[in-house]
Chain A
């Protein structure tokens, strides 16, 4: 629609701008992804006879997955992980920090933001060592702080530990996003809320939230997708103890690398994609209802 093309870009130039990215995505993403989906309907394996002559098994892998207690376990744990650490943890803490830091002293603000961002940008392998040091049974910092060493947090409370860990790990994104979203809330409305004596919670609910609803949804979608595909928990618990923290990406890794069942692993990836699709559809639905 040229009439809305205020930048004067023109469709031709727009296509030229988009195509390099699409080309790269097409070759290195769409093509392998489609191929992976195809592998999902075969019995392809890393070694052994079916690595040489895989046969198409149709939906067998999917049927097997739905009947596999370990898969349903992984699916459930992924849901817990996403809800606990992303939808609730990172969202709430990120918003709280953005809200409370608005009026904070610049020095405090810089320190808090710096630390939160640092935990976001450190590489996963390093972060895994940091958290093992915190949660370790004998020398762990948490045990020492609580004055009760001897609790193996990652073994006794694996999912709770991972939820807290991932909240720590990813809050920065939500904090930054909400920080800028809050800047868009008209100060006059906040002022009005204060003069009528609204509590902090009432202000957030009635004045702030309507303005940032779109941000909340976008943020939730992105962090949910990232969390659902996060492999870092493997470095902390290796999926243990006894599969108690084996989320889908770890389950896929175990099936693909340790068991060499590439067909099955690919099918699980497709199921993970479907889960993501449901999340995204839900998000689009909510977004549409808003407008």
Chain B
């Protein structure tokens, strides 16, 4: 090994070590605080106890809110993934005039609506439509905000699926729906999986929309509940928060693990601009 190679090797190892530390260190709190008898804002070696878990499980809404989150996110994610896939496929394969401009405008508008300023229009509109207090409708609103980005990303995926596959399938007499289901979907699967996880994560963390649109505390998702774990003066309840944070993170991680194991999780084929 030459000196140069050794330097390179050392540099590589050092870089990887720093990156690993950079990404791992912040996670430590999630491993220690839930088990600490006196969890604080900082990190420390825990004084082991499971009392926080008991308190959290006894919380009247904690577990229910996770179920609500799942309902809400399944609706939002399913709608986003299915509709975005259909739209992305059609937009990729058929030239519709003004297609690209439309996508950009929608992508930009989605940034207005996901902000606080659109709170009043969305609230009043949902009220007029009689959709306040409906988890499904709230899921739809969240999906509406995510669709442009999802279509944008997925379209690039589908663009990269070679058209020759579809041509061959058609030669053998497959209908367009069959082509989509049996040819395009399997190839674009890792991309769809990525969008699915992305959409789920976005919906899972949404606070403002469910807070405004759902009125019954027993319907509120975990993102809202996590902000209510306070005392009357607004101080954070650190007995429950760490445990609940851990529980709150589990479904997302589980979904990722499941999806990545089952369908692969990378931009296979990639986004081509």
Q: Do chains A and B touch in the complex (CB under 8 A)?
A: yes
**Interface of A toward B, CB cutoff 8 Å:** 1, 4-11, 13-15, 17-18, 20-22, 24-25, 27-33, 35-37, 39-40, 44, 93, 96-97, 100, 104, 108, 111-112, 115-127, 129-134, 136, 138-141, 144-145, 168, 176-177, 179-181, 183-184, 214-215, 217-219, 222, 225, 228-229, 249, 252-253, 256-257, 262, 265-266, 268-270, 272-273, 276-277, 280, 284, 287
Binary contact readout B13-29 vs A (1 if CB under 8 angstroms, 0 otherwise): 00110011011111111
Q: Which of A4, A35, A108 contacts B16 (CB 8 A)?
A: A108
Q: Which of B16, B30, B40, B109 contacts A29 (CB 8 A)?
A: B109
Task: Give chain A residues whose Cβ lies under 8 Å from the Cβ of B180.
Answer: 7
Task: Give chain A residues whose Cβ lies under 8 Å from the Cβ of B145.
Answer: 28-29
Q: B113 near A29 (CB under 8 angstroms)?
A: yes
Q: B201 near A123 (CB under 8 angstroms)?
A: yes
Q: B205 near A28 (CB under 8 angstroms)?
A: no
Q: A183 near B93 (CB under 8 angstroms)?
A: no
Query: A284 CA to B105 CA in the complex, in Å?
Result: 13
Query: A122 CA to B249 CA in the complex, in Å?
Result: 6
Q: Which of A24, A132, A139 contacts B143 (CB 8 A)?
A: A24
Q: A116 near B23 (CB under 8 angstroms)?
A: yes
Q: B86 near A20 (CB under 8 angstroms)?
A: yes
Q: A177-B270, A266-B117 are in contact. Are A229 and B23 (CB under 8 A)?
A: no
Query: A36 CA to B149 CA in the complex, in Å?
Result: 20
Task: Give chain B residues whose Cβ lies under 8 Å from the Cβ of A253.
Answer: 115-116
Q: B93 near A9 (CB under 8 angstroms)?
A: yes
Q: B27 near A130 (CB under 8 angstroms)?
A: yes
Q: B245 near A125 (CB under 8 angstroms)?
A: yes
How far in angstroms is the closest Cβ of chain B from A11? 6
Query: Could you list 25 A-B pairs, sorted by A, with CB under 8 Å?
Result: A8-B166, A8-B176, A9-B94, A14-B94, A17-B86, A17-B89, A24-B83, A24-B144, A28-B122, A28-B144, A29-B144, A33-B112, A36-B118, A36-B121, A119-B26, A123-B248, A129-B245, A133-B26, A133-B28, A136-B41, A141-B42, A179-B266, A215-B272, A252-B116, A272-B111
Q: A180 near B111 (CB under 8 angstroms)?
A: no
How far in angstroms is the closest Cβ of chain A from B90? 4
Q: A184 near B270 (CB under 8 angstroms)?
A: yes
Task: Give chain A residues whose Cβ lies under 8 Å from the Cβ of B248.
Answer: 123, 125-126
Q: A126 near B44 (CB under 8 angstroms)?
A: no
Q: A229-B114, A272-B115 are in contact. Are A168 and B26 (CB under 8 A)?
A: yes
| Chain A contact residues: helix, strand, loop or mixed | helix
Q: Is B220 close to A, CB under 8 A?
A: no
Task: Give chain A residues whose Cβ lies under 8 Å from the Cβ of B120.
Answer: 39, 44, 262
Q: A122 near B252 (CB under 8 angstroms)?
A: yes
Q: Which of A39, A93, A118 contacts B117 (CB 8 A)?
A: A39
How far in angstroms is the closest Cβ of chain A from B144? 3
Most B CB atoms within 10 A — which of A7, A115, A222? A7
Q: B121 near A31 (CB under 8 angstroms)?
A: yes
Query: A111 CA to B41 CA in the complex, in Å?
Result: 27
Q: Is B56 close to A, CB under 8 A?
A: no
Most B CB atoms within 10 A — which of A15, A25, A140, A276? A25
Binary contact readout B149-171 vs A (1 if CB under 8 angstroms, 0 otherwise): 10111001000000100110010
Q: B253 near A121 (CB under 8 angstroms)?
A: yes
| Chain B contact residues: helix, strand, loop or mixed | helix
Q: A29-B148, A280-B104 are in contact. Are A215 and B271 (CB under 8 A)?
A: yes
Task: Give chain B residues whose Cβ lies under 8 Å from the Cβ of A33.
Answer: 109, 112-113, 118
Q: A7 near B176 (CB under 8 angstroms)?
A: yes
Q: A126 near B117 (CB under 8 angstroms)?
A: no
Q: Is B71 close to A, CB under 8 A?
A: no
Query: A7 CA to B185 CA in the complex, in Å?
Result: 13
Q: Which residue of A lies closest to B91 (CB)?
A: A18
Query: A182 CA to B42 CA in the complex, in Å?
Result: 40
Q: A269 near B242 (CB under 8 angstroms)?
A: no
Q: Which residue of B lies closest to A290 (CB)?
A: B273
Most B CB atoms within 10 A — which of A28, A129, A139? A28
Q: Which residue of B lies closest to A38 (CB)?
A: B121
Tell me which residues from 18 to 66 in chain B have a Cβ below 8 Å from any Cβ of chain A.
19-20, 22-30, 33, 40-44
Query: A168 CA to B20 CA in the complex, in Å?
Result: 11
Query: A284 CA to B96 CA in the complex, in Å?
Result: 19
Q: Which of A100, A176, A214 contacts B272 (CB 8 A)?
A: A214
Q: Is B227 close to A, CB under 8 A?
A: yes
Task: Give chain A residues whose Cβ lies under 8 Å from the Cβ of B119.
Answer: 256, 262
Query: A185 CA to B42 CA in the complex, in Å?
Result: 45
Q: B147 near A29 (CB under 8 angstroms)?
A: yes
Q: Is B194 close to A, CB under 8 A?
A: yes
Task: Give chain A residues whose Cβ lies under 8 Å from the Cβ of B67.
Answer: none
Q: Is B132 close to A, CB under 8 A?
A: no
How far in angstroms is the closest Cβ of chain B from A212? 9
Q: B43 near A5 (CB under 8 angstroms)?
A: no
Q: B93 near A7 (CB under 8 angstroms)?
A: yes
Q: Which residue of B lies closest to A123 (CB)?
A: B205
Task: Give chain A residues whose Cβ lies under 8 Å from the Cβ of B253.
Answer: 118, 121-122
Query: A245 CA to B19 CA in the complex, in Å?
Result: 26
Q: A6-B93, A222-B153 are in contact. Are A25 and B148 (CB under 8 A)?
A: yes
How far in angstroms is the closest Cβ of chain A from B211? 11
